[in-house]
Copies of this chain bind each other. A is one copy, B any other.
Amino acid sequence: MSTGVNLKELAAELKLSPSTVSRALNDSYEISEETKKKVVSMAEKMNYQPNPFARSLRENKSKTIAVVMPERMSSFFSKVIDGIEEVTQQHGYHLLVYSTHEDVEREKKIVNLLMNGRADAIVMSVSSQTSDISHLARLHERGFPLIFFDRICESIPTTKFITNDYESAFEGTKHLIQQGCRRIAFLMLSKELSITKERYRGYLDALKAAGLSPTPSLQVTCAHEEENNIEAIRKMLLSEDRPDGLVSSVEKLALATYHAVKRTDIKIPEDLKIISFFSNLSIAGLLTPSLTTITQPAFTIGEECAKLLMKKLTKPRQPDLPNQLISIPSKIIIRSSTIAV
């Protein structure tokens, strides 16, 4: 791999010193317009590309953001990253992307690796296994810029971007009740997860507001393995107090539910109405029947994370990321899976 020209060679060609060339390329006021032109044109001619590591070493920043998330095959996370990339790319930033595969040990390893400054900031959504958050707390205490989205750590005082989890779950559950549901199931990944807690609370409060009492056996905590989830849901669906409605707090469990239903003779929406947090609109419309979704503003969440970070990182002497919770509302899109017949 033949490395290109460096600053010294470029300077030699121009019969200038490296410092002058550097300043010229960085548009310093100390350099005359005339020399700037010369330098810039010669740099183009010789295809000079500054070495990013020399620069990072000197400036102590990498122009790189790390994104850590639980899984890649999820339209929600894909769209968030698209949103982040859209903003960061305009500022010349690069994206390191890591998947924890819902494994807290991998999450710890990744976070610890990132503490050496390879990235200027971390945008993350924690794994469903994450209960001990000391690795993240340590990162933040050291002053490392850290932003959470979706699955947040409440106790770490930094900026977090979420959707209106509580209200959406409340409204979604209320919608099921309005459609006549009385025994409503709730599917979740892990009780530790911030999104689980909030969405669950919204679900419970909606039940309470309607004078309904929750049935413990209808609240299913799932795991990572899809087949196990499908079977757990199927059993719940066929249990004694089988539900007539179902709220899924994450996309993948809605899909698991459709799989589970296929293994029974339950009819949606006649026997069971389903609503789910879901980001893949194209798929939602193709499911049979089409799925009523609580659609999170995934792309916007990514954009907002990135905008905040860019402000903090590209301007000098910015304050720490404020300890705030920013909520961007979801939209409920009613489709066939909850239409009363």
Residue ranges of A at the interface with B (Cβ–Cβ < 8 Å): 1-4, 49-54, 56-57, 60, 62, 64, 72-73, 75, 78-79, 81-82, 85, 94-99, 113, 115-118, 142-145, 226, 255, 258-259, 262, 280, 282-283, 285-288
Contact = CB atoms under 8 A, between A and B. Distances in A.
B56 A82 contact: no
24 contacts: A1-B117, A1-B143, A1-B144, A4-B115, A4-B116, A50-B116, A51-B116, A51-B117, A52-B116, A52-B117, A52-B118, A53-B54, A53-B57, A64-B96, A73-B78, A78-B78, A85-B99, A95-B96, A95-B98, A226-B282, A255-B286, A258-B286, A287-B288, A288-B288
A73 B72 contact: no
A118 B92 CA distance: 13
Contacts of A262: 285-286
A70 to B, nearest CB: 12
A287 B262 CA distance: 11
Contacts of A62: 53
Contacts of A287: 286, 288
Contact of A82 (B73, B96, B283): B73
Given A1-B60, A51-B117, 13 more contacts: A2-B142, A2-B143, A49-B115, A50-B116, A51-B57, A53-B117, A54-B57, A64-B96, A73-B280, A226-B282, A255-B283, A259-B282, A262-B285
A335 to B, nearest CB: 12
A142 B1 contact: yes
Nearest to A94: B96
Taking the full assembly, how many copies of this chain does it contain? Answer: 2
Nearest to A261: B286
Nearest to A230: B282
A110 to B, nearest CB: 8
Contacts of A143: 1-2
A312 to B, nearest CB: 11
A24 B69 CA distance: 35
Name which of A94, A98, A144, A283 has the most chain B CB atoms within 10 A of its CB: A94
Contacts of A53: 53-54, 56-57, 62, 117
Nearest to A67: B97
Contact of A259 (B144, B226, B286): B286
Nearest to A252: B282
Top 4 closest pairs, chain A to chain B, by CB:
A288-B288, A49-B116, A53-B56, A53-B57
A82 B57 contact: no
A85 B109 CA distance: 14
Contacts of A73: 75, 78-79, 82, 280
A230 to B, nearest CB: 10
A255 B226 contact: no
